[in-house]
């Protein structure tokens, strides 16, 4: 019985110490759209690079960033962009924002990972082409 009691106290302490972060998915979506508009629509790589989080810039120099964007768009770039869905990372200071774009005859889907919280604002850590699929993905419902 004593061991069970200690186990319960340990579990309570563990859950009490686990950090919980409050996310503002609308603010994160706004930052994702600003980044996507700059990089994918206007092709303003320098401004887009400046929007990356410090950790994103640490791992990717500007020239590699430009090269990655260009390689991920072999034929065309979108002319319109909109954030469609979000997915907070449980227990993390990060959130996924899913962005859709279009150009004449072509659809674009991106997944942007943003670092931050509702209190600290958001910056893009990384992006990838493709929309991904997840059961915890939620529509933005603007």
pLDDT tens string 15-71:
444 457 788 999 999 999 999 999 999 999 999 999 999 999 998 999 999 999 999
Residue 142: inside a domain: no
51: in domain: yes
Whether residue 87 lies inside any domain: the answer is: yes
Q: What is the pTM of this model?
A: 0.83
Categorize the per-residue pLDDT at 120 as very low, low, confident or very high, splitting at 50, 70 and 90. very high
Domain count of the fold of the chain: 1
Asked if 124 and 112 count as a contact pair (C-beta separation under 8 A), the reply is yes
Determine, yes or no, domain membership for 124: yes
CATH number of 82's domain: 3.10.450.50
| 37 falls within a domain | yes
Looking at the domain assignment, is residue 46 inside a domain?
A: yes
Write out the residue range of the structural domain in which residue 26 sits.
22-137
Q: Of 70, 97, 68, whose CA–CA distance to 81 is shortest?
A: 97
């Amino acid at each position: 019985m004593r061991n069970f009691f200690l186990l319960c106290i340990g579990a309570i302490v563990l859950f009490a110490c686990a950090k919980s972060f409050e996310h503002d998915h609308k603010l994160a979506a706004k930052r994702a759209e600003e980044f996507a508009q700059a990089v994918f629509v206007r092709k303003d790589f320098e401004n887009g690079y400046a929007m990356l989080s410090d950790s994103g810039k640490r791992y990717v120099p500007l020239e590699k960033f430009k090269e990655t964007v260009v390689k991920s768009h072999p034929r065309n770039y979108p002319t319109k962009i909109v954030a469609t869905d979000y997915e907070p990372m449980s227990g993390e200071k990060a959130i996924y924002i899913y962005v859709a774009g279009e150009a004449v005859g072509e659809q674009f889907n991106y997944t942007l990972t943003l670092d931050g919280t509702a209190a600290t604002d958001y910056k893009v850590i990384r992006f990838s082409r493709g929309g991904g699929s997840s059961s915890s993905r939620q529509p933005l419902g603007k």
